[in-house]
Amino acid sequence: MLGFVLILFAIIFFALGILSKRNPTWGWRANEAWKIKGDSEPSDAYINDMKFRGSVSILTGSFFLACGLLVIFL
């Protein structure tokens, strides 16, 4: 049972990581835009940070997937 939970977490981390890598501004309006008066766009630093977080999320998903498969098959 634990292996399947780890694989579920891996799928979630993969999905969020791929979303952050492909479209790093997807959550910017809800999280940051309301703090700024007037029209604005996310900075390059924010976009690069979200891409880095996406990479970390994909790596974390890989770790959970490997652990889940080890728990299931060993």
Residue 63's domain comprises 2-25+41-73
Tokens of 15: 């999905």
Number of domains in the chain: 1
Residue 20: inside a domain: yes
Among all chains, which residue has been given the structure tokens 């981390």? 13
Task: Report the distance separating Cα 55 and Cα 50, nearest Å.
Answer: 9
Q: What are 25-57's pLDDT values in tens digits? A: 988 877 888 888 888 888 899 999 999 999 999
Q: How many residues does the chain have?
A: 74
- Global model pTM greater than 0.75: yes
Tell me the H-state helices in 1-74: 2-22, 28-31, 44-73
pLDDT of residue 54: 96
Positions of E strands within 1-74: none
Residue at 34 is within a domain:
no
Cβ atoms 56, 62 nearer than 8 A: no
pLDDT in tens, 53-74: 999 999 999 999 999 999 999 9
Question: Which pLDDT value is given to residue 32?
Answer: 82
Asked if residue 47 is part of any domain, the answer here is: yes
